[in-house]
Amino acid sequence: MKNLCLVLDIDETILHYDPKNSNKPLTRGPKYIYDADGELAEIYGLMYGDDELFFRPGFWKFIKYVKSQNGETASQNSIRNDSISDDSIRNDSRRNDSRRNDSRRNDSISDDSISDDSSRHSRRGGSPRNSLSSRNNDRILLGIWTFGERGYLNALRPYLGDSFAFFHTIEEMKEGRLRLDKQLDYVIEKNNMPYNKSLPLPPNIFLVDNRPENIYHKINRNNGILVESFHGHNPRDTMFQNLQHMCNALLKTGRMPNQSIKRFNIKGNEMPIACIGSRFDGLDDGEPGGLVPVRARSKSMRKSRSSGGSKPNGDTKPNKRKQNYTKKTK
């Protein structure tokens, strides 16, 4: 495979954002926490006075890997050496907070608001909106499609680096039988990518998302990568490391590794889906407990029967993690 296009979700996929008390105003600039490699790991006070943001472990290493594949120089994603003052950060954050509130009242904000905001913040490590025409030679093209609103994306963009070529938000999700769907054909058409509508989606574009509804519908089913949700403070999380191995295999062989494809029983239909992990969020309208690959559930049942324990599925504990699909975060 000559090149890849990965469309990544933000919340619980790239990072975990907890708005805490969304009515508490900012009183100072954000506080930044760095990992052992000097990369940005946590942000406190991004949009509200006590909100928290945690980057998924391995995200910045994956960005460096993408840059190396594209022949770019990987730079450290650190903000502490920037010359921008805390007052400027605080004022920009307040403007973003105002935009976020505006987006709740009016969803008709144009894409130019994202572009203009990106240019304003480019001094902090981000970059102006990249045109796809300037990235035609990338081996791995990255894009964003968040479940959040445009104001939320505006606040995050300066901290995501300069590797993403396009951005989409919840305002661009289609109202469908699955309530709100991310559909990759929209990404292709919106960004003028070559595509024959009479054929299935190109085999080199993938949506990386933790929400099953965005993956298993008929448009994305063969072009989705389902991942476990990230809820912060999990140093053993290896999702991005596994995604890098997956990209290497796709670029080398043109095929998704067999071990990455698992079968799921979704609403009575068994279907193969590429995934990273073993325990995934449940469906919005499904029973609690989360999605579990069919083989994993079968092994669990056999173990329970052989040990004379509880009834089938008795050893499968329900997933009690709270799922909050709001416009601020998933």
User: Tens digits of per-residue pLDDT, 201-249?
Assistant: 999 999 999 999 899 988 999 999 999 999 998 999 999 999 999 999 9
- Helix, strand, coil share (%) of the chain residues, nearest 5: 35, 20, 50
What integer pLDDT is reported at residue 157 of this predicted model?
96
Domains and their CATH numbers in the chain: 4-78+85-306 (3.40.50.1000)
Under DSSP, the state recorded for 101 is: H
Q: What is the mean pLDDT of residues 57-71?
A: 97
Estimate to the nearest angstrom the gap between the alpha carbon of 113 and the chain centroid.
21
pLDDT at 233: 87
Q: Which two tokens stand for residue 245?
A: 């191995």
* pLDDT (average), residues 177-193: 82
| pLDDT score recorded for residue 136 | 66
Q: Position of tokens 């994603």?
A: 77
Q: In the predicted model, what is the mean pLDDT of residues 294-315? A: 48
Alpha-carbon span 31 to 40, nearest angstrom = 11
pLDDT at 277 over 50: yes
Q: Which two tokens stand for residue 124?
A: 């902090």
Cβ-based neighbour number of residue 92 at 10 Å: 20
Structural contact between residues 322 and 308, judged by C-beta atoms closer than 8 angstroms: no
